[in-house]
Amino acid sequence: MRRVIAALCYAGLLALGAGAAGRIYDGRLLALLVAGAAVGSVGIGLLLVRSPQWTVAPVSVLAMLGYVVFAVWYSAGASGVSGTLPTLLHEAARNGGPQLLTALIPIEAQPDTVLVPVVLVWIAGLICAELGLRAGRAPLALIPPTVLYLAALILAGPHGGVQPWRAVAYVALSAGALVGTVSRRATPDPIGPELTARQRGPMRARLRVRAAIGVAVFVALAAAVVPAVAATVPHDPVDPRAAVTPPQSDTLDQDPLARISGWMQNPTEPLFDATMSADTRIELAVLSNFDGVTWTIGANYRDAGRELPGLTPPPGGAATPKSVTRVTQQITVRDLAGRLVPAVGTPHEINGIRVAYDTGTGTLLRPDGLVPGISYSVVSEAAQPNPNLLALADVPSGPAVSRYLQTGASVPADIQKLAESIQEGNGGAYQRAYALQQFIAEHYTYVLDAPSGHAYPNLDFFLLGPAAQGGQRGTSEQFAASYAVLGRLMGLPTRVVVGFRAEAGHGTVHGADALAWPEVLFSGIGWVPFDPIPAKDTKHRQLDQDYKPKPDPPTPSDADDASATPTASSSASASASQHATPGADSALLPPWTPYAAGGAVLVLVLVAQLWVVIARRSRTRQRLSVGGPSDRVRGAWLEVLDALRLAGRRPPEHLTATEVAEWAVRPPAKGAAPPPLNELVELANLVAFAPEFADDRDAATAGTRATAFARGLRRAQPLWRRLVWSLRPGPLRWTHAAFPAPDAAKRQEPLRPATPGR
């Protein structure tokens, strides 16, 4: 039983330690997966604790591989990541480590973000089980989960807030593991059985006093040392992501918006040199497709010569712009990677490199990729829309515009409510677009060090997350993506453009110059850029001052129940009972009610089970320690009968004591036979015929033999029966005759049989 308790404590420590990183993950999937890895690894160690040591590692590794496959498959399905299982495993193994330090916060639990935590937890569980359950070295067994806990805290850094309950629970489970671990070096004290009851009482009292003094000294030292040490620890942990450069790969050409945070973290990195004829923005990519996770280009690139064709007119057509500025550029690539070629919007001519061109967005691509040192020139025409047409402009509709209105599979309800709140009172398309720009600019903070991410969990955290925990602040990636998503929810066709700021003349474009901005499509005008990033003179407003989430509307059944009126013959109490339907009651319950109810039931079950364990141990102690010698011998015999029933070998009632002893020690199908009961049978017959002749030594011998028999019988049982041996409440209600039928042979013997060693 102690091994099972220790195993549960070790698994809990691993789950708690690794779960500390779950603060920067979205949802509970990571916590569930690492908890499963903890239970699996420690459980295998518990099952194989009696097997040869060399068999544990191969079995555990094979089980870990199977669990890793399950974790990758399940997380891919939960996060919507497509691909074959071998491809997912390969990508997760290749990118798992760097992805933990470069992924967005909150991190989506995907194959490449859960693989490393699951493997580390499993390995730590294997080591922990071997040290704690097999070797009995509890202090050493606590090292792997503690290291895992520290690593999770370092990974989380300043994100996710403080969780004092986790530290308290970790200390409590550590204490449970120390108490529950059975040391292999522990041997019975040869003096203990020789102590009388009068000697044991004072000794126990002295030991308890010493333990209490030790605990008091420890608490006093902790109270004095912990505050002093805590004062030297910085309150804002270092974010390890600040020292890591996001990996560069071809996939970034499909989602260059994710590169914004990487450039912001390296603001002085020279991307390219540019000689410009006018102040304007340089475009790198136009992102039109959004699936709820990433913004992608969705472009159709075709090889082009030096002269580039004109853009395909957008849905709804385009009017004559107010002005068109001819911009020439001479660009020399330095550290800019990928295949996308930066250029001012609507290029018409390019020299120096061969490119592929998308006539729908006007973006350029070099199939061979950008190489430091290559230089090219571009001639573009930057158009300015006519502002006089915007006030009354509408947005186009139809199948051609549907791609610019897609919002992914499922939109979070709180983001939907925010869009509805901003839209109120703004009927025209341009009025909605402008109101959205002003709302984002006034209520959110532009920073350069925010993590990357524009999936729904990240946008939800940016738009509605607590400001004290890093919400409501972001780079242009979050500003542009939030505007585009909210705009689509408000019926505005939107897209996101990734590019750079550039000034007239010769200069170097650095990482800090990277920028993303949204554009809205208007009928008869075309794509119009908006800038939701707050200007220097923008007055910041708290989000909760202007936005209060509306409660969910009642369901039709609830509305019908609420509108029903009682009849004249019904009493007030009957009317109230009619309206208080289960559906209405459940609708008024907070969302955490099911979890609280389930937790309460679990706590009750655990408390009841703990009571059973304590009550059974108390009953055993009472049987073997309380009363006269004859009473304790009877109690020892009852312990033997309880053990036989727990093992499923209840003796027939007609058997005599000697026959019960012979029947009880029959070897089972598997495992060793339990210890013999010869001495206990002799003492049982003695007490049955002449209880006044039993002394304290007889009672101690009977208790020792009964305890040894119960332990041996339990060791011979299957694993499941050993696990529930101490948890079954049956012995608390079982009744036995004091003894089986007396032995006929014993009736002819003296009342005080000769006992060996007397």
Asked if 269 and 336 touch (Cβ cutoff 8 Å), the reply is no
160 phi-psi bin (left φ>0, alpha ψ -120 to 50, beta other): left
Which two three-digit tokens encode residue 393? 């402009």
What number of CA atoms fall less than 13 Å from residue 38's CA on the CB side?
Answer: 23
Asked if 142 and 174 touch (Cβ cutoff 8 Å), the reply is yes
- Name the more confident of 210 and 396: 396
Q: Are residues 442 and 352 in the same domain?
A: no
Report the number of distinct structural domains present in the chain. 4
Question: DSSP of 148-211, one letter per residue?
Answer: HHHHHHHHHTTSS---HHHHHHHHHHHHHHHHHPPPTT----SSGGG--HHHHHHHHHHHHHHH
Lowest mean pLDDT among 236-245, 625-634, 671-680: 236-245
Average pLDDT along the chain: 78
* Residues found in the chain: 758
Q: Please calculate the CA angle 408-413-418 and round it to the nearest 5 degrees.
A: 100
User: Domain for residue 21, yes or no?
Assistant: yes
Residues in Cβ contact with 257 at an 8 Å cutoff, skipping those fewer than 6 apart: 285, 287, 294, 295, 454, 477, 480, 481, 496, 498, 516
User: Domain for residue 594, yes or no?
Assistant: no
Asked if 158 and 237 touch (Cβ cutoff 8 Å), the reply is yes
Q: Are residues 624 and 722 in the same domain?
A: yes
Which two three-digit tokens encode residue 413? 């309800």
User: Domain for residue 214, yes or no?
Assistant: no
Q: Are residues 359 and 453 in the same domain?
A: no
First to last CA, the chain: 36
Closest alpha carbon to 291 in 487, 108, 456, 84: 456
pLDDT over 80 (residue 503)? yes
Does the reported pTM lie above 0.75?
no
Please identify, among 163, 185, 207, the residue that sits at the C-terminal boundary of a domain.
Answer: 185
Using DSSP, state whether 553 is helix, strand or coil.
coil
Range of 449's domain?
399-495+515-531
- Per-residue pLDDT of 694-715, as tens digits, reads 888 888 888 888 888 888 888 8
Which two three-digit tokens encode residue 325? 């500025």
pLDDT over 50 (residue 582)? no
Q: Are residues 451 and 484 in the same domain?
A: yes
Closest alpha carbon to 286 in 341, 249, 367, 330: 341
Q: Are residues 363 and 407 in the same domain?
A: no
Asked if 376 and 353 touch (Cβ cutoff 8 Å), the reply is yes
Say which amino acid occupies 642: D
Say which amino acid occupies 697: R
Q: Are residues 313 and 411 in the same domain?
A: no
Using DSSP, state whether 479 is helix, strand or coil.
helix
Q: Are residues 54 and 179 in the same domain?
A: yes
pLDDT class of 755 with cuts at 50, 70, 90: very low
Asked if 665 and 676 touch (Cβ cutoff 8 Å), the reply is yes
Distance CA(663)–CA(684), nearest Å, equals: 16
Distances (CA, A) of 448 to 242, 245, 331, 407, 515: 11, 14, 25, 26, 11
pLDDT class of 579 with cuts at 50, 70, 90: very low
- Per-residue pLDDT of 77-135, as tens digits, reads 887 777 788 888 888 888 777 777 766 577 778 888 888 899 999 998 888 888 887 77
Please identify, among 136, 162, 185, the residue that sits at the C-terminal boundary of a domain.
Answer: 185
Per residue in 568-577, is it b (16+ CB within 10 Å) or e — as a string? eeeeeeeeee
Distance CA(725)–CA(471), nearest Å, equals: 51
User: Domain for residue 295, yes or no?
Assistant: yes
Instruction: Kindly state the DSSP code that residue 519 receives in the 8-state scheme.
Output: E
Say which amino acid occupies 328: T
Please identify, among 487, 504, 531, the residue that sits at the C-terminal boundary of a domain.
Answer: 531
CATH number for position 472: 3.10.620.30
Q: Are residues 143 and 263 in the same domain?
A: no
For 420, phi then psi, to 5°, come to -65, -35
Distance CA(267)–CA(223), nearest Å, equals: 45
For 299, phi then psi, to 5°, come to -90, 160
Closest alpha carbon to 362 in 317, 302, 278, 290: 302
Q: Are residues 263 and 327 in the same domain?
A: yes
Q: What is the CB neighbour count within 10 angstroms for residue 692?
A: 11
pLDDT at 546: 67
Q: Are residues 413 and 525 in the same domain?
A: yes
Q: Are residues 286 and 344 in the same domain?
A: yes
Closest alpha carbon to 26 in 666, 665, 456: 456
Distance CA(658)–CA(664), nearest Å, equals: 10
Asked if 491 and 432 touch (Cβ cutoff 8 Å), the reply is yes
pLDDT class of 318 with cuts at 50, 70, 90: low
Cis peptide before 106 (omega within 30 of 0): yes
pLDDT over 50 (residue 19)? yes
pLDDT over 60 (residue 742)? no
pLDDT at 519: 93
Would you call 268 exposed, middle or buried from its count of C-beta atoms within 10 A (0-12, 13-18, 19+)? exposed
pLDDT at 581: 38
pLDDT over 50 (residue 757)? no
Distance CA(481)–CA(497), nearest Å, equals: 10
User: Domain for residue 297, yes or no?
Assistant: yes
Lowest mean pLDDT among 20-34, 159-173, 266-280, 744-758: 744-758
Asked if 454 and 372 touch (Cβ cutoff 8 Å), the reply is no
- Per-residue pLDDT of 406-428, as tens digits, reads 988 788 888 899 998 888 877 78
Q: Are residues 384 and 430 in the same domain?
A: no
User: Domain for residue 170, yes or no?
Assistant: yes
User: Domain for residue 331, yes or no?
Assistant: yes
Would you call 687 exposed, middle or buried from its count of C-beta atoms within 10 A (0-12, 13-18, 19+)? buried
Asked if 521 and 295 touch (Cβ cutoff 8 Å), the reply is no
pLDDT at 565: 42
User: Domain for residue 77, yes or no?
Assistant: yes
Which two three-digit tokens encode residue 458? 């990240």
